[in-house]
Amino acid sequence: MPFITDRYHDQNRNRQPAAPAAAPASSTPDTPDTPAALAERLRSRVLGQDPAVDAVVRAITLARAGATEPDRPPATVLLLGPTGVGKTELVRQVAAALRSGPDDLCRVDMNSLAQEHYAASFNGAPPGYAGSKEAFTVFDRSTVEGDPYTPGIVLFDEVEKAHPTVLRALLGVLDNGMLRLANGQEKISFRNSFVFLTSNLGSKELARRRGSRWRALLDRGRTRRAVVDKALQSFFDPEFLNRIDETVIFDELDRTTIEQVARLETDLLRARLRRRGVDLQVEESAVRLLAEQGFDPVYGARGLRRTLRTHLAAPVAAEIMRVRPTGTAPLRITATAASGAIRATATDPES
């Protein structure tokens, strides 16, 4: 099996391996377990980030094929880019594909570990301190270690906001895939877990250079990779960067991608309302208006979600409460764009 923990090996060391089962005759290159199918699934939810999707699929493929080192995490991927471009969403969709759902992962918000003493939240309080024997940790062991058939997924979100001492506590985890708790009696294995780290390093500098016309002319020959690499090297220790398997830089969302995201978010809103007996029809003009008003390269898709909430969801909700204040009778709402605003109108669902 591609995802086997060391504990499983220790327990089954003396057993004879079973003969491999023959592949079903109906299997095709696009079955859900293939890299092509996984990449297509991720691209359908994370739009405009094909290089990032390819890098994540490549890391998963290497682990599934057994080509990774057995005494390290299968993959340690650093995702870089401005806010709202899909870094965290990509990891959530990986969890949805490999585990039971998008929230079935161990997520550590590093902005809550901004002080030095929070390094103890990884391996527990040191001896002599309260809680040292209980070995409390922020890691959920079952989610991190997974099982012989399912990998673990760990997300360190906004890693640059943690204290440097907290980051140094991760060196052993990224190097040998093991975290020994402070009580000395327990340890957590990361050798069956995909480790993802997200960061916004370099985004502020890129935004500043994009806003300055003369700076853009002077930096015409420089790439985004050079700016981000400089920010990484100035913030992280070399030994930390040396334990990263792959660094992926997300692209800023352009107008075409924002329009695609607007359609995706509109479909999600329609699905939520459909469960309440409301059939929402959104005209293409309304989608284009949402994309135009919600486009902001600084805030990415999060700015679009705020625009959709204010300009589409709010008038639709008001129309629902006007026509159907109580009950669950079927209702059809049509959203159209007129004079720079979106208007929601209730129509007969039988028509």
pLDDT tens, per residue, the chain with 351 residues: 445 555 555 555 444 444 333 333 333 334 457 899 999 999 999 998 999 999 999 999 999 998 999 999 999 999 998 888 999 999 999 999 999 999 999 999 998 888 877 777 787 766 666 666 666 788 888 899 999 889 999 999 999 998 888 888 889 899 999 988 877 778 899 999 999 999 999 887 877 776 555 555 445 445 778 888 888 999 998 999 999 999 999 988 888 899 999 999 999 999 999 999 999 999 999 999 999 998 877 778 888 899 999 999 999 999 999 999 888 889 999 999 988 899 999 987 665
Choose among 48, 82, 60, 106: nearest CA to 198.
Answer: 82
Where are the strands (E) in 225-316, listed by range? 246-249, 278-282
Q: Are 47 and 86 in contact (CB under 8 A)?
A: yes
| Residue 178, CB-side half-sphere exposure with 13 Å CA sphere | 11
**Residue 307 CB neighbours (<10 A):** 22
Say what the pLDDT of residue 19 is.
Answer: 38
Among 186, 189, 109, 197, which Cα is nearest to 152's?
189
Phi and psi at 147, nearest 5°, equal: -150, 180
Task: Name the phi and psi angles at 319, rounded to 5.
Answer: -70, -40
CB atoms within 10 A of CB 121: 17
Cα separation, 187 vs 181, whole angstroms: 5
Question: CA of 283: how far to CAs of 62, 278, 286, in Å?
Answer: 43, 16, 5
The pLDDT assigned to 184 comes to 72
Nearest Cα residue to 322 out of 349, 298, 299, 344: 344
* Cα–Cα distance, 189 to 148 (Å, whole number): 13
Helix (H, G, I), strand (E, B) or coil at 16: coil
Listed residue (318, 346, 321, 319) closest to 332, CA to CA: 346
Q: Sheet harboring 278-282: ordered strands across?
A: 278-282, 331-338, 341-347
As a whole number of Å, the CA-based R_g of the chain is 24
Q: How far is CA 233 from CA 201, 239, 240, 241, 242, in A?
A: 10, 11, 10, 8, 11
User: What whole-number distance in Å separates Cα of residue 211 and Cα of residue 204?
Assistant: 11
Q: 243: which 2 tokens?
A: 């334990």
